[in-house]
Amino acid sequence: MTIHRQTPEQWIISDDTGISSKTIWAVMMGVDTDRSNVPLDCADFGRCYRLLKHMPEWTARLPEVAEKYPGWKPILREWDTLTFLHETEQCDKLNRLLSDLRKSDTPRQHDYRRTPQGQA
């Protein structure tokens, strides 16, 4: 997948936005928002993922999102796993992990990276 980099101003008026990705954008841009949320499913996470492909320097600043919106803490703790699941197109596992993370801020007991025998 090729990402043609956009500026933050170009991205916010694009059609590849959602509340969770706009939450990241707002924190990074220092803009208050009355609507915020964590990614709820594979499509939501994909929009966040692609936003950070446009602005890779924001990845290191993701803890700022969790500082402002504590519900992001478990999401950021598992960001690498979520990214792996997204990049390997394992949406069912990604959706289950996101659901689990929204329910609890405890460490995961299930290995979401493990793929079933015979699957890549």
Q: What percent of the chain has pLDDT over 90?
A: 77
Beta carbons of 50 and 43 less than 8 angstroms apart: no
Give dist(CA 24, CA 11) in Å, integer. Answer: 12
Residue pLDDT, tens place only, 76-94: 999 999 999 999 999 999 9
Question: C-alpha angle with apex 40: 30 to 109, nearest 5 degrees?
Answer: 110
For tokens 């980099």, name the residue. 5
pLDDT of residue 1: 59
Q: What's the token pair of residue 72?
A: 């992001």
pTM of the model: 0.84
Q: What's the token pair of residue 3?
A: 């990402």
Mean pLDDT of the chain: 88
13 has a pLDDT exceeding 80: yes
Give dist(CA 81, CA 94) in Å, integer. Answer: 8
Find the mean pLDDT for residues 49-74: 96
pLDDT of residue 2: 65
Residue ranges per structural domain of the chain: 11-103
109 has a pLDDT exceeding 70: no
113 has a pLDDT exceeding 60: no
Question: C-alpha angle with apex 91: 100 to 55, nearest 5 degrees?
Answer: 90
